[in-house]
Amino acid sequence: MAWLSMVFTTYLFVFYFLPLVLASYHAVDHLSRRVGASSSGTCLALNALLVVASYLFYGWWNPWFILLMLGVTVVNYVCGRIIGQPGISRRLSFWVATFAVVVSLGTLGFFKYFMFLEINLNQALAWLGAGPVHVLEITLPIGISFYTFHALSYTLDVHHGTAPPVRSFLDFACYIALFPQLVAGPIIRYNTVADQLVSRTHTLEKFSSGVTLFILGFAKKILLANAMGRVADAAFGAQSLSAPDAWFGALAYTLQIYFDFSGYSDMAVGLGRMIGFEFLKNFDSPYKAENITDFWRRWHISLSTFLRDYLYIPLGGNRGGAVRTYFNLIVVMLLGGLWHGANWTFVAWGAYHGVLLAWERFQGKRSAYQRSPRPVRVAATFVLVVISWVLFRAATLHEAVTYLGAMLGQGGSGSGMLLIPALLYTRGTLVFMAVALLIVAWPTQAHDWSREITWPKAVVVHPLFCLSLMVMFSQSFNPFLYFQF
Amino acid sequence: MPIDRRAYVYLAAGFLAVIIAPGVIQTVAELRRGETPGALELFLRPPTARNLHAYEHGLEASSLVIQRLRPRMQYAEWRFLDDAGEKAVVGREGWLFYRPSVRYEVERPAIGPESDSSDPLPAIRSFRDQLQARGIRLLVVPVPNKESIYPELLTRRAQGLGVVVNEQTQHLLDELDRNGIEHVDLFQVFRRVKQDQGRTGTGRLYLARDTHWSPAGVHAAAASIARQVLAGGVLSRGDHAYSERSVVAQRAGDLVEMLRSASIKGSLLPESVVCSRVVQSDSGAPYEDRPDSEILILGDSFLRIYEHDVPGAAGLIAHLARELGRPLASIVNDGGGSTLVRQDLARRPALLSNKKLVIWEFAEREIRFGTEGWRIVRLARSASEFN
């Protein structure tokens, strides 16, 4: 079970939290400049305000988990300060960094994977004929996967000398808890925002482009992801499915997870711009990828680069020969899969991607596949990705295999198969799926589209926001998929 | 396209206006009503998870902006996208279906028991055994979902399918047989009626925009239940003479009501339903229950419709009484056919004192989605034990 925090697409966030935070933030900025405070002093005051707002945002549904996040923050801050001391030995730096990594990953491991281990241990014990151990029920704190990675990124960057140690605890707490990216990313690497924590600019252009990106993300989530989610839920919950229905459901989930997560990322980056931050792009038209390697350059870029820099390269990357490279790729993807959740389905999903990455590396650039026309490569990659989402979406491996069987025409029989079109092929579903596919194929992305605002864009964006809000008012189905990770 | 700074100003100002306006409107309206602004309630309670959640829910529920805009949006979604929201599914020929019932028909049952009270059989068996110990016979009546009887009106793909019996339902019916629990198979009954009547649009067994049956469905069910009761031999036909009077009732349909949109409701004409009200042949007074009857009928809103709703005395209870020639005792609990209605009975043990037969009706979807699940309810041996 996971606790929720405040969610961007709620009445409370849009109409109370956000206006209050923006008003306070820009009022403090304005006042600070009027009294002649330095740029860094102003930033410190703004960071303090953001820490308070972010802790309120995070602790909204369970204030006690603030303490856990604070604990991870303090440990990594202190370790970073020690590592950053001038003249510290390389050896001590290594052990302090190791301590921080163990504490952060230990926290993540305990809250996210301990129950999973217990349950699997019990299954193994049952198989051996032994009695079960008592399963400790652990509540998963929302966003823990993201903020522990943020903390790790800081400690490791400082240890490797790629970023300076933070100047104050407030700056660091702000980096860890910054509400736009706190609970569902993107994973912000410390060295990409270190400067912005000390000094950042606030301009009308940046604010407006942030507003535009936030609205586009909001619309993606409310209008497209939720509509696709209803279809996916119906298909994945169905008793029996024909092959076309199963593919339709898998396609709906493929679109749901993209618009859900990229919508969230757009909102996060947009909110960041509104308060002066510039975060990197987290999606780059992933469904236009030409192969799986390309897909991982485009999907959840902040995670794939994190795994590349902090796991794949330390494992040896491609420096140990072909076989070692394949092994590293598969290990990284397995762990990347497991990062998404304590379930064998995520492990299988990671393994699937790892094997495909290794296979592509093995095939090289001269394979028949790589020499085929680009539309064929894109379409084939898309199909492979759709299949992978089945592993990701299913509640159990058995369910995933059953669903994949349905996609191959082994979806069973029964009256349910004949009735399910009522839930899958409604007029609304078809309209939203067509729009979603059109946007997937559209050459321009929200992140880039929002950079420069012209009158036609400004005129389009407001009605889109109002429409999305009205749809939000009428919806009760409003999950955020990446919150569970 | 040239970049114009005014476009940035317009965009930022418009966004801020949109996100600030609802809170301001709400606060002004509450102050004008002499109330403390709801937004300030955050500071009046300790910040516990429960209080914060309640605060968020309260803000949304009381929002004037949401109250104004939600029905309009629902109407637009209904009008242009055939979307009937979270509760209903739009079928064909203007028919609406209850989403939980549709889900019951298409969804995979959970692997293994969802909870201790998710399996209906132990609860039904326990109820049968407790009644049997008192010398009371139990007759179970699962009422088919509307989707089971008219699948072709839910989706074109089900054209020609006839009547469907969901696997989970069939499993329960088989288990009832295996356990010697007497039940009425309304699927068979309705299948026959449907075949006889053809799909002419007249005499359909369910209402188009309601989860419940039509008067034709009530008639067919009452006749078949009565046949089975009398065939059991425990009770013979009584000597109360009832007759029927035709009454027209207007029903918007409970599915339309569930949409909670005056605009949608206003766009649909109510269904005119020709009902047969059961009256005493001698006095002409509408049928009335008799708590001291030897027959008790328990059930959900399928008993309530036409009986306690308009036009009254025209539902299953009255028609069953007419078929049996004797008044009945009844307990009705809307949406509580699985457990709640038996809990109501457990609180009224005197009602069982002279009973020979208990008829227990519940909707098919309750097999999986029963409110409070299927709990075993202990019946007090007597009123004194209950007290």
Query: Mind giving me the DSSP string for A85-154?
Result: STT--HHHHHHHHHHHHHHHHHHHHHHHHHHHHHHHHHHHHHHTTPPPPPPPP-PBPTTHHHHHHHHHHH
Clarify whether residues A166 and A244 are in a common domain.
Answer: no
Both tokens of A66, joined, read 């603030």
Q: What pLDDT shows up at residue A485?
A: 59
- Backbone phi and psi for residue B275, each to the nearest 5 degrees, phi listed first: -110, 160
The closest of B231, B245, B253 to B324, measured between CA atoms, is: B231
Q: Cβ contact (<8 Å) for B59 and A474? A: no
Q: What are the DSSP calls for A362-431, one per residue?
A: HH-TTSHHHHS-HHHHHHHHHHHHHHHHHHHH-SSHHHHHHHHHHHTT----SHHHHHTHHHHS-HHHHH
Q: How many CB pairs under 8 A join A and B?
A: 174
CA B261/CA B241 separation, integer angstroms: 44
Q: Cβ contact (<8 Å) for A238 and B161? A: no
Chain A from 12 to 41: CB within 8 A of any B CB: 12, 14-16, 18-19, 22
Chain A residue with CA closest to B97: the answer is A422
Nearest-Cα distance to chain B for A120, in Å, is 18
Q: Does A231 touch chain B (CB under 8 A)?
A: no
Active site residues per annotation of A: 340
Q: Cβ contact (<8 Å) for A420 and B106? A: yes
Both tokens of B199, joined, read 């799909």
Q: Which helix (H) or strand (E) holds B237?
A: none
Clarify whether residues A254 and A186 are in a common domain.
Answer: no
Q: Is the pLDDT of residue B111 over 60?
A: no
pLDDT: is B197 or B323 the higher one? B323
Q: Does A63 touch chain B (CB under 8 A)?
A: yes
- What is the pLDDT averaged over residues B161-177? 92
Q: Cβ contact (<8 Å) for A428 and B81? A: yes
Q: Is the pLDDT of residue A475 over 90?
A: no
Q: Is the pLDDT of residue A112 over 90?
A: no
Q: What pLDDT shows up at residue A88?
A: 86
Nearest-Cα distance to chain A for B163, in Å, is 10
- What is the pLDDT averaged over residues A200-217? 94
Q: Which residue has the tokens 């792009």?
A: A281
| Secondary structure E strands in chain B | 88-90, 96-98, 137-143, 242-251, 271-280, 295-299, 329-332, 357-363
Question: Which domain does A280 fall in, by range?
Answer: 206-478
Both tokens of A361, joined, read 């590396």
Q: Could you tell me which residues come within 8 angstroms of residue A27 by beta carbon, excluding any fewer than 6 positions away?
A: none
B32, B19 contact by CB (below 8 A): no
Range with the poorest average pLDDT among A56-65, A285-294, A371-380, B12-21: A56-65
Q: What pLDDT shows up at residue B234?
A: 74
Three-class SS state of B183: strand
Q: What pLDDT shows up at residue A164?
A: 86
Q: Which amino acid is at A89?
A: S
Sequence spans of domains, chain B: 5-62, 96-386
Q: What pLDDT shows up at residue B387?
A: 46
Query: A397, A398, A415: best mutation site toward chain B, by most B Cβ within 10 Å?
Result: A415
Q: Cβ contact (<8 Å) for A237 and B107? A: yes
Clarify whether residues A89 and A232 are in a common domain.
Answer: no
Q: What pLDDT shows up at residue B3?
A: 64
Three-class SS state of A38: coil
Q: Cβ contact (<8 Å) for B102 and A422? A: yes
Clarify whether residues A49 and A193 are in a common domain.
Answer: yes
Task: Give per-residue pLDDT as tens, A267-288.
Answer: 999 999 999 999 989 999 999 9
Clarify whether residues A322 and A455 are in a common domain.
Answer: yes
Last residue of a domain, one of A168, A200, A232: A200
A250, A389 contact by CB (below 8 A): yes
Cα A192 to Cα A278, A305, B320: the distances in Å are 9, 12, 76
Both tokens of A444, joined, read 């321009």
Query: B15, B42, B79, B150: best mutation site toward chain A, by most A Cβ within 10 Å?
Result: B15
Task: Give per-residue pLDDT as tens, A118-137.
Answer: 888 888 888 888 878 777 78
Instruction: Write out chain A residues lying below 8 Å of B107, CB-based.
Output: 237-239, 416
Q: Is the pLDDT of residue B1 over 50?
A: yes
Chain A from 396 to 435: CB within 8 A of any B CB: 414-416, 418-423, 426-428, 431
Last residue of a domain, one of A185, A200, A215: A200
Q: Does residue A171 form part of some domain? A: yes
Task: Give per-residue pLDDT as tens, A331-352.
Answer: 999 999 999 988 999 999 999 9
- Provide the pairing of β-strand B357-363 with B137-143: parallel
Q: How confident is the model at residue B386 (pLDDT cuts 50, 70, 90)?
A: very low
CA A411/CA A401 separation, integer angstroms: 11
> Is the omega angle on the peptide bond into residue B291 within 30 degrees of 0, that is, cis?
no
Which of A421, A453, A475 is nearest residue B157 as measured by Cβ atoms? Answer: A421
- Provide the pairing of β-strand B242-251 with B295-299: unpaired
Q: How confident is the model at residue A479 (pLDDT cuts 50, 70, 90)?
A: low
Query: A25, A453, A454, A468: best mutation site toward chain B, by most B Cβ within 10 Å?
Result: A453
Q: Is the pLDDT of residue B264 over 90?
A: no
Query: B108, B264, B368: best mutation site toward chain A, by most A Cβ within 10 Å?
Result: B108
Q: Is the pLDDT of residue A229 over 60?
A: yes
Q: Cβ contact (<8 Å) for A462 and B109? A: no
Cα B3 to Cα A211, A452, A456, B8: the distances in Å are 16, 7, 10, 9
- What is the pLDDT averaged over residues B95-105? 94
Q: Is the pLDDT of residue B200 over 80?
A: no
A52, A137 contact by CB (below 8 A): no
- What is the pLDDT averaged over residues A408-437? 91
Give ∠ CA A59-A62-A63 in degrees, rounded to 5: 50
Instruction: Write out chain A residues lying below 8 Å of B86, CB-based.
Output: 475-477
Instruction: Write out chain A residues lying below 8 Å of B89, CB-based.
Output: 422-423, 426
Q: What pLDDT shows up at residue B112?
A: 52
Q: Does residue A4 form part of some domain? A: no
Q: How confident is the model at residue A477 (pLDDT cuts 50, 70, 90)?
A: low
Q: Is the pLDDT of residue A189 over 70?
A: yes
Percent of chain B with pLDDT over 70: 94
CA A182/CA A141 separation, integer angstroms: 12
Q: What pLDDT shows up at residue B312?
A: 92
CA A10/CA A4 separation, integer angstroms: 12
CA B291/CA B329 separation, integer angstroms: 5
Q: What pLDDT shows up at residue A336?
A: 93
CA A148/CA A387 separation, integer angstroms: 30
- What is the pLDDT averaged over residues B173-182? 96
Q: What pLDDT shows up at residue A414?
A: 79
The closest of B70, B63, B62 to A472, measured between CA atoms, is: B70
Clarify whether residues A185 and A222 are in a common domain.
Answer: no
A279, A269 contact by CB (below 8 A): yes
Chain A residue with CA closest to B157: the answer is A418
Q: How confident is the model at residue B235 (pLDDT cuts 50, 70, 90)?
A: confident
A115, A189 contact by CB (below 8 A): no
Mean pLDDT, chain A, whole residue set? 90
A54, A177 contact by CB (below 8 A): yes
Q: What pLDDT shows up at residue A185?
A: 73
Give ∠ CA B163-B169-B175 in degrees, rounded to 5: 130
CA B218/CA B206 separation, integer angstroms: 9
Chain B residue with CA closest to A233: the answer is B107
Q: Cβ contact (<8 Å) for B7 and A234? A: no
Clarify whether residues A163 and A226 are in a common domain.
Answer: no
- What is the pLDDT averaged over residues B302-307? 96
Instruction: Write out chain A residues lying below 8 Å of B77, CB-based.
Output: 428, 471, 474
Clarify whether residues A189 and A220 are in a common domain.
Answer: no
Last residue of a domain, one of A150, A177, A200: A200
Q: Does A89 touch chain B (CB under 8 A)?
A: no
CA B372/CA B376 separation, integer angstroms: 11
A135, A119 contact by CB (below 8 A): yes
- What is the pLDDT averaged over residues B216-233? 93
CA A349/CA A294 separation, integer angstroms: 17
First to last CA, chain B: 83
Percent of chain A with pLDDT over 70: 97
- Backbone phi and psi for residue B245, each to the nearest 5 degrees, phi listed first: -130, 135
Cα A183 to Cα A62, A307, A347, B222: the distances in Å are 14, 19, 22, 57
Distance of CA A390 to the CA centre of its chain: 18
Chain B residue with CA closest to A22: the answer is B16
Q: Is the pLDDT of residue B122 over 50?
A: yes
Which of B18, B74, B89 is nearest residue A466 as measured by Cβ atoms? Answer: B18
CA A317/CA B62 separation, integer angstroms: 57
Cα pseudo-dihedral A214, A220, A221, A223, rounded to 10: 120
Q: Could you tell me which residues come within 8 angstroms of residue B232 by beta carbon, excluding any fewer than 6 positions away?
A: B137, B139, B182, B357
Range with the poorest average pLDDT among A409-418, B99-108, B275-284: A409-418
- What is the pLDDT averaged over residues B282-310? 94
Q: Is the pLDDT of residue A3 over 80?
A: no
Residue A458, phi-psi category: left (phi > 0), alpha (psi -120 to 50), beta (remainder)? alpha
Instruction: Write out chain A residues lying below 8 Å of B52, CB-based.
Output: 60-61, 63
Nearest-Cα distance to chain A for B182, in Å, is 26
Clarify whether residues A192 and A210 are in a common domain.
Answer: no
Clarify whether residues A177 and A231 are in a common domain.
Answer: no
Clarify whether residues A140 and A22 are in a common domain.
Answer: yes
A255, A436 contact by CB (below 8 A): yes
Q: Does A234 touch chain B (CB under 8 A)?
A: yes
Q: What are the DSSP calls for A461-483, one per residue?
A: HHHHHHHHHHHHHH-S----GGG
Three-class SS state of A308: helix
CA B334/CA B31 separation, integer angstroms: 39
pLDDT: is A2 or A37 the higher one? A37
Q: Does A461 touch chain B (CB under 8 A)?
A: yes
pLDDT: is B386 or B89 the higher one? B89
What is the domain count for chain A? 2
Three-class SS state of A9: coil
Instruction: Write out chain B residues lying below 8 Å of A208, CB-based.
Output: 7-9, 11-12
Clarify whether residues A119 and A168 are in a common domain.
Answer: yes
Q: What pLDDT shows up at residue A474?
A: 86
Q: What pLDDT shows up at residue A2?
A: 41
CA A297/CA A282 separation, integer angstroms: 10
- What is the pLDDT averaged over residues A57-80? 89
